[in-house]
Amino acid sequence: ASAQIVEDLQSVFNVVPRKSLIFEPPTSLGFKCALAFIAGYLDGDGSVGFNRAGTLIMRYLGTHSMLSWIQHQVNLVVSPSAEVLRHKTVWEYKFAGRYAIAVGLAMLSLGVPYLPRKLGKIKTLVNTEPNSKQVVHGVALYQVENQLRNRCSSQVVDLEG
């Protein structure tokens, strides 16, 4: 059983030893599985914190290809104006405020396990400061984007007729 788990981690999720500088994204995942993967990636190679003004920041470190893939997946939830930038020996992708809250809520909605010190901060912020500007806008953004996504995925388009 453990040999199968190791094989699955390598073949499906591209998890390999010493992955920080060579890790490639799992491009064959559907949207929800990709979002769940990114939530797990946040636990390993990401952070959630606040700047001095109290704005929530979500940050990822990794290879350029991994962070570009994460950026693409995040853009399916919301479209923060954030770029993948060089950070010392690795790359960095970060976004803040309502965008971080909307992405965090999308991840939390999946029901996947998460570290309280990372995604848990978003849940705590939403529960303890529901009237703050970034929470109100983040929740609204998440709800609008989620409704649009649900409408688009429920419509069947006939491309041949």
pLDDT score, position 16: 66
With cut-offs at 50, 70 and 90, classify the pLDDT of residue 153.
low
DSSP per residue, 86-142: EETTEEEEEEETHHHHHHHHHHHTTT----TTTHHHHHHHHHH-TTSHHHHHHHHHH
pLDDT score, position 6: 74
Read off the pLDDT of residues 56-109 as tens digits, 9 standing for 90 and up. 999 999 999 999 999 999 998 888 778 999 988 889 999 999 999 999 999 999
User: Which strands form 56-62's sheet, in the order they lie side by side?
Assistant: 46-50, 56-62, 90-96, 84-87
pTM for the whole thing? 0.80
Read off the pLDDT of residues 12-40 as tens digits, 9 standing for 90 and up. 766 666 666 677 888 888 889 999 999 99
